[in-house]
């Protein structure tokens, strides 16, 4: 039982076994057709075994075919692009590492200047998720997916198409909501693939972990608590808004920014925070800069202009390049590695998958603070960056798997 490739006219071809895990046994592929840019694309469908059974996820497609272009990327288990009739990339899915368990990863929907940028971000996010899960001590791997389009173009069919592409991973990729998607979108995707994490929004739990990490950084810098701490939160989305509310309760002096000015102003009016220009927030005089929107905001140009003591937020891939961690260390700016400090949402999702209580999940997410404290101490003692300390922790666990 496996998957069989179809030529363009829909006829079955000869088949060959491919190594690798699958939901129902071996994975089979027939003659490939050339896709865009000379890469190989294959059209998959379920192939019954001798008893007429097919992998459950593929069978749920209702007999429809999905075209996925296999992309070879060093260090990744599998990367595919789901292409539309005109060869356009409808979605990109990358699974980086599943040694610890199935890959958990977001479904991000936003426009990109070109396909290459979308693929690059998908790979970076998938790789970061592997490290995040490993560093957090979870039995999950890392993956990610991107629908490179504006949310105004979101339709049920587009989400179902993405779900069918996910289904070809035979359960090795578990999607969750991310920028541009919500629980309703995941439920739509879940009509054609399983499992999906579509129950509760993990964003508040990500924010809870970030708040715990910020407290740990503040304590490491000599503060007893967050009362009066000047904290700038970049992004008033799901995670950013939840974090603002938590920090206000701690007595912090919070400023917030968002590319959607009205959203930032509305959140400020609700919470008592102050809305500011998003272009000026990163270099404002702050105790803590908390990026909670898109990544790459700490760039070589921004670092010399930073006037904060701590960087800790919910965004992924905060540093534009890994080398910037050393620049921050030289400037004595405490950096909580994003893949550790924003792991609360992933910790919560694993607790859901395991059927744990909300109280247990809360205790585990609060443990992000302990992890950050240990990383800061390790980095100081060994005179390495916090990023290096976190990567060492994750790699040791992956190597032991």
Give me the pLDDT at residue 299, please. 97
Tell me which residue of 259, 210, 236, 233 sits closest to 368, measured CA to CA: 210
User: Is residue 173 domain-shared with residue 224, that is, in the same domain?
Assistant: no
pLDDT at 14 over 90: no
Q: Which pLDDT does position 66 carry in this prediction?
A: 75
Q: Is 275 annotated as a binding residue?
A: no
The model's pLDDT over 28-76, given as tens digits with 9 standing for 90+, comes to 322 333 333 333 333 333 333 344 433 333 333 333 567 799 999 999 9
Question: Residue 118: pLDDT band by 50, 70, 90 thresholds?
Answer: very high
Residues 252 and 304: beta-carbon distance below 8 Å: no
Domains contained in the chain, number: 2
What pLDDT is stored for residue 153 in this prediction? 97
102: pLDDT strictly greater than 90: yes
> At a CB cut-off of 8 Å and minimum separation 6, what does 390 contact?
131, 135, 337, 339, 340, 375
Mark which of 138, 156, 189 sits at the end of a domain: 189
Is residue 194 situated within a structural domain?
Answer: no
Q: How far is CA 112 from CA 109, 118, 119, 325, in A?
A: 10, 6, 10, 26
Helix, strand, coil fractions of the chain, as percent rounded to 5:
40, 20, 40
Q: What is the pLDDT of residue 116?
A: 96
Residue 278 has pLDDT above 80, yes or no: yes
Residue 152 marked ligand-binding = no
Q: Which of 138, 159, 189 is the last residue of a domain?
A: 189
Q: Mean of the per-residue pLDDT values for the chain?
A: 86
User: How does residue 10 score in pLDDT terms, banded at 50, 70 and 90?
Assistant: very low
Q: Which helix (H) or strand (E) holds 330?
A: helix 324-330
User: Per-residue pLDDT for 2 more than 50?
Assistant: no
- Asked whether residue 95 carries a pLDDT value surpassing 70, the answer given is yes
List the domain range (segments joined by +) for residue 22: 2-189
Task: Return the pLDDT at 64.
Answer: 54
Residue 218 and residue 139 share a domain: no
Same domain, 124 and 232: no
pLDDT in tens, 312-341: 999 988 999 999 999 999 999 999 999 999
Tokens of 273: 């925070």
Pair (111, 158) in one structural domain: yes
Q: What is the CATH number of the domain that holds 359?
A: 3.40.50.720
238 is in an annotated binding site: yes
Q: 46-55, 134-143, 332-341, 349-358 — which is least confidently predicted?
A: 46-55
262: tokens are 């009205």
Is 239 annotated for ligand binding? yes
Q: Is 47 annotated as a binding residue?
A: no
180/272 same-domain check: no
pLDDT at 362: 97
Q: Say what the pLDDT of residue 199 is.
A: 80
Instruction: Give the end of a domain, one of 131, 159, 189.
Output: 189
Asked if residue 209 and residue 183 are part of one domain, the reply reads no
96 assigned ligand-binding residue? no
pLDDT at 96: 98
Q: Which whole number is the average pLDDT over 336-353?
A: 94
pLDDT at 294: 86
């Amino acid at each position: 039982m496996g998957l069989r490739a179809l030529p363009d006219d829909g006829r079955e071809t000869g088949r060959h076994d491919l190594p690798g895990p699958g939901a129902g046994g071996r994975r089979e592929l027939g003659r490939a057709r050339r896709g865009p840019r000379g890469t190989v694309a294959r059209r998959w469908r379920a192939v019954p075994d001798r008893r007429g059974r097919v992998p459950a996820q593929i069978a749920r497609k209702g007999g429809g075919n999905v075209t996925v272009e296999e992309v070879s990327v060093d260090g990744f288990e599998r990367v595919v692009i789901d292409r539309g009739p005109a060869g356009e990339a409808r979605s990109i899915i990358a699974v980086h590492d599943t040694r610890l368990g199935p890959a958990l990863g977001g479904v991000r929907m936003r426009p990109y200047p070109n396909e290459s940028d979308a693929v690059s971000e998908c790979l970076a996010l998938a790789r970061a998720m592997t490290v995040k899960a490993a560093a957090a001590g979870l039995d999950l791997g890392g993956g990610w997916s991107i629908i490179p389009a504006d949310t105004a173009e979101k339709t049920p069919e587009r989400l179902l198409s993405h779900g069918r592409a996910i289904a070809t991973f035979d359960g090795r990729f578990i999607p969750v909501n991310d920028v541009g998607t919500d629980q309703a979108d995941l439920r739509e995707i879940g009509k054609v693939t399983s499992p999906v994490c579509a129950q509760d929004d993990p964003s508040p739990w990500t924010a809870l972990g970030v708040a715990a990490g910020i407290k740990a950084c503040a304590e490491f810098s000599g503060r007893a608590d967050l009362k009066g701490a000047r904290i700038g939160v970049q992004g008033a989305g799901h995670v950013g808004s939840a974090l603002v509310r938590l920090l206000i309760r701690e007595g912090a002096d919070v400023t917030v920014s968002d590319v959607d000015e009205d959203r930032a102003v509305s959140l400020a009016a609700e919470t008592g925070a102050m809305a500011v220009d998003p272009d000026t927030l990163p270099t404002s005089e702050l105790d803590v800069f908390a990026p909670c929107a898109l990544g790459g905001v700490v760039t070589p140009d921004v670092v010399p202009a930073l006037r904060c003591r701590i960087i800790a937020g919910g965004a992924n891939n905060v540093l534009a390049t890994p080398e910037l961690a050393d620049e921050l260390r030289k400037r004595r700016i405490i950096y909580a590695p994003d893949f550790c400090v924003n792991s609360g949402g992933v910790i919560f999702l694993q607790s859901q998958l395991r059927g744990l209580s909300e109280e247990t999940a809360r205790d585990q997410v609060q443990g992000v603070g302990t992890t950050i404290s240990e990383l800061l101490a390790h980095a100081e003692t060994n005179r390495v960056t916090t990023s290096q300390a976190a990567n060492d922790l994750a790699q040791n666990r992956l190597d032991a798997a």
